[in-house]
Each structure stands twice: as C-alpha cells, then as structure tokens.
Amino acid sequence: MGWYLGKRMARSFLTLAVILTVVFCLLRFMPIEGYFQNFDKMTPQQIQVGLKEMGLNDPLPVQLLRFFNDLLHGDLGVSRIYRANVPVSDILADKLPVSIKLGVCSMIVSLFAGILLGAVMAKNQNGFADRVGTLFIVCIQAVPAAVYFLYIQLYGTRLLNVGLLFQIDDPKYWILPIISMSLGNIAFYGMWLRRYMVDENNRDYVKLAKAKGMSEGGIMLKHIFRNAFVPLVQYIPTAFLNTVIGSIYIESLYSIPGMGGLLVTVIKKHDNAMVQGIVLLYACVGVLGLLFGDLLMVMLDPRISLAGKEGDR
C-alpha cells in the first residue's frame, strides 16, 4: 500500500505539473490586456514598463520556472483586474468555503438518493418503480443539463418563494442549487447500482441462499447490495468531478459567491493570475478524488490489492 501511494502521489504531482504548464503557456499567448486594469488608457511606454516589472518580457521557460518556484512557496500570484493587487490566495480563501459546502451537500444528497433509487429499481425489476426510475434516468441523461437547471430555477423559486439572487445566510436559497447539482449524479448512481444488483441477483450464491430459505430482504441487504456497492465506489471520483463541473454553471446561474462563478468572471475579465490559481485548485481536487476512489475500494473490499500491477489504473 505504501509503495502504491508513493507511486500514485508522484504520478499525481506530474499530472498537476503538466496541467499547469499547459495552462500557463496558453495564457501567455493571450492578449496582454489581461495584465492591466486600465489598458485602454495606458501609453505603449507604460505598457512595456508594466510588462517588464511583471517579468513578462522574459523567455517563456524563465517565466515558467519562476511560476513554479513561487508556487512551491505558496505564492499563487496577484490579481491584476478582478481585485487589483490582491493576492490570489486571499481571494480564493473567501470563495472556497462556499463551494465546498455546496459540493459536499450535493454529493451527500446524490449518493443517498442515487443508492435508494438503484436499490428500489433492482428490487422491483421490470416493475412500476423500475420503469419510473428508468424514465427519470433517461430524461436526466438525454435532456441537456442547462435546460432542466433553468426549469428548476423558474418553478422552484416560485414554489419556495425565494428570489433569484442567492442569499448565503438563508437555508431556503441552498435547496435549488443542491438539487440541481445532485440530479445528474443521482441518475448516475441509480443506473449503475441497479445494473450491479441485477447482475449479483443472478449469481449462484444468491440462488443457494434462496434455496436455504433466507429471506429476500436479508439476501438483498447482506449479499446483493453489499457486493454491488463495491464496484460502484469507483464512480465516486467521476461523480465528484461532475459536481465540480456542474458548480461552474450552477453558481453562475444563482449568483452564488463561490469558485464556479468566480472562474467564469475572471475568464471574462482576462485575469490570467486568477485563472491559473483556480485551475490549480480544480486540478488538485480532481487528482485527489481519483486517488480517494481507489483507496475507498480497498477499504470496502479486502480482496482488492493495490500493491501489484493489477491495482494500477
């Protein structure tokens, strides 16, 4: 396990380095307006002086090495446009708790609701509940997310009697964003859990348990659900990434003061330092999520070993 963790961590750092390098280089090819708050009012001489002070006239490899050196010292740079001369880390520290709270709540809701949906569908295979659940899953996967996000906002705000502008201190304003971010993962969990439970239900050990007179509920809970849940764990990192991606649109739609809305804003404003900082944060979350998924599978099923080659992915 220790060797596997060390290897995965090294691979994760390499992945982050590649992502940051690509983003850094792409941003350096963007127009220089993103480095000045009053670019239209500046003379060519002032622009050149500003670029020199920021080290942007240096060769690209030199800039890249300086960026990684600052990063190792905890310096993510300074915002030039979104909040002039304010450290990026200070801005992210204000926005991050809101996104974490929203993401964690939506993940918890989607996990419990998705598991319940999949279990009910599997227990009532080809029945009414199974058909209704299948219809829900098909609709969620077939309809573009932006469409039902807008409908939820349109009718949900009227039903809950809340405004369109998000209020962080009012719990009612959290309901619609959490539901919106949860729907895709609910369908995702429900679909796969149903599939795995149906597969497990056709195995020989289940038939043997039924022949011994074990109750159907006991077989479903102690054997089928337990064995079907283990492979489902590998999809948790994917669901987590879907939540992160969904938060970008949801936070902008509801004007939530979190990371998702911030990313859209700084991209529009061409604040390159802010874009780099947010991309770094999202990349870290994604890489750590994949590692967490592997470790969780080992904890739930001791038959799985990550020490050998068969544990890699």
pLDDT in tens, 266-288: 888 878 888 888 888 888 777 77
Task: Name the strand (E) or helix (H) holding 78.
Answer: strand 78-79
Over 70: is that where the pLDDT of 297 sits?
no
Phi, psi of 85 (to 5 degrees): 65, 20
User: What is the helix (H) or strand (E) element at residue 146, kind and residue range?
Assistant: helix 145-160
Is the predicted pLDDT of residue 133 greater than 90, yes or no? yes
Amino acid, single-letter form, for residue 203: R
Which residues touch 253 (CB under 8 Å, ≥6 apart)? 149, 150, 153, 180
Cα–Cα distance for residue pair 141/143, rounded to 1 Å: 6
Band the pLDDT of 2: cuts 50, 70, 90: low
| Spatial CA neighbour of 298 closest among 241, 254, 233 | 233
pLDDT digits (tens, 9 = 90+) for 78-113: 887 888 788 888 888 888 888 888 888 998 899 899
pLDDT of amino acid 310: 46
- Cα separation, 122 vs 194, in Å, equals 5
CATH number for the domain whose boundaries are 96-311: 1.10.3720.10
| pLDDT of res. 223 | 72
Counts of helices then strands in the chain (DSSP H, E): 13, 2
How many angstroms separate the CA atoms of 22 and 2, rounded? 30
Residue 313 confidence class, pLDDT cut points 50, 70, 90? very low
- What pLDDT digit, counting tens, does each position of 141-151 carry? 898 888 888 89
pLDDT tens column, 181-197 = 899 889 988 988 888 88
* Furthest CA-CA distance within the chain: 88
- pLDDT of 1 reads 58
For the ranges 208-222, 268-282, 290-304, the lowest mean pLDDT is seen at 290-304
Q: Is the pLDDT of residue 306 over 60?
A: no
Residue ranges covered by each domain of the chain: 2-88, 96-311
**Contact predicate 286/12, CB 8 Å:** no
Q: Name the residue with higher pLDDT: 42 or 136.
A: 136
